Structure 1
Amino acid sequence: MPWSRARRLLAAALIPVLVLLLIRGWLVDSLTVSSDSMEPTIPAGSVVLVYKPAAADRIPAGAVVAFTSPVDRRKTIKRVVAGEGQTVAIRDAKLYVDGVAVPEPFIDHDRIDATYFGPETVPAGSVFVLGDNRSVSIDSRDFGAVPLDAIQGIVLVGRK
């Protein structure tokens, strides 16, 4: 009898741990942000949770996504600003998608004053990503649009 009770206690302790490991492995991952390219929204040193099974073809503009940087092969996060077929331009730090100014209340425009780019059309099967701190961010302006199949997940939450 004592052995079966010990087994039940062990199973009761191990099952929640296994469930958490499965969730972390398949559904959610954590990532420590190493650069200041997403400041002030997500400061360097923040830990973010990334929802992994996000449908890449349904990523809305404004979502922050994780992917492997084509520059240094490190996992990075940036904000999706446009999808395939859309035209992206930045004029004096203001983002324009298809010629329409995009409101970005999360951007500190004083930090990115005098930033210019484009216009550039996003290729099929890709998204255009930018860092919120555009004066220091290495993003789609540098390495081009990110293929949808390279997106590893959507950032859900972050904390410093």
Structure 2
Amino acid sequence: MTVWIHRIRSWAWSIGIAFFLSLLISTFVLQPTRVLGHSMEPTLKDHSRILIAKWTRSLGEEPAYGDIVVIDSRIERKRSLLDDLSDYPLFQWIAGSGSSDVFWVKRVVGKAGDVIEIRDHHVYRNGIELNEPYLKEQMATSSQGQTITVPEGYIYVMGDNRNHSKDSRAIGVVPIGHIMGKKL
């Protein structure tokens, strides 16, 4: 009987260490995720699987122009370490949480200090039209004439399928702390 108790403890210890390591890696280093929706087409398809580098967030790195990032779209609230831990897929599965719809995959178009302007079906950054060969189609005029200066500590993001993307045009600029990671 004591042999079985020893084996069970050994297995429990191994499973506990594996769980803890996977939690750390998924929260601070790398995390696989799935693209939900068509807002990044043609670059990323609906239900595509991507790997995001979370160490960029952990180290406080700011994304570059054109980087594809995963953001937490709930910009009206401040994120905490508890949010990072509760976003762990196993915890969401146990809680039956459907919060994955708040995480959006978008492209970085503007950074702090940039003036983003949408006119003539194109995006301009600091007065210069962006060359965006990755776009699915020409942008409709619904956001025509929109101009915004990106404040310090924020980014401006847009989907590649501009006519079917909920992005900074709808929610505004995104705090750097809401960047979950960068697509590898």
**Are 2:128 and 1:128 aligned?**
no
Quote the offset at 1:127 in angstroms: 0.2
Is residue 56–residue 151 contact of structure 1 (8 Å, CA) maintained in 2? no
Q: Percent identity?
A: 33
Q: Aligned partners of 2:149 and 2:25: how far apart in 1?
A: 37
Q: Which runs of 5+ in 1 are unaligned?
A: 1-9
**Are 2:79 and 1:75 aligned?**
no
Q: Which moved more, 1:22-31 or 1:131-140?
A: 22-31
Quote the offset at 1:56 in angstroms: 4.3
**Are 2:62 and 1:63 aligned?**
no
Quote the offset at 1:109 in angstroms: 3.0
Q: What is the 5 A alignment of 1:102-117?
A: 102-110=130-138, 112-114=139-141, 116-117=144-145
Quote the offset at 1:92 in angstroms: 3.0
Is residue 73–residue 178 contact of structure 2 (8 Å, CA) maintained in 1? no
| Count of aligned pairs | 145
Question: What amino acid is the match of 2:65?
Answer: A
Q: Aligned partners of 1:20 and 1:43: how far apart in 2?
A: 30
Is residue 84–residue 123 contact of structure 1 (8 Å, CA) maintained in 2? yes
Paired residue for 2:96? none
Paired residue for 2:165? 137
Paired residue for 1:36? 38
Quote the offset at 1:68 in angstroms: 1.3
Q: Supply the RMSD in Å over aligned alpha carbons.
A: 2.8
Quote the offset at 1:58 in angstroms: 2.5
Q: Aligned partners of 2:132 and 2:126: how far apart in 1?
A: 16
Cα distance per residue 1:75-113 (max 9 Å; x no partner): 111101010110111223322100001111111234x34
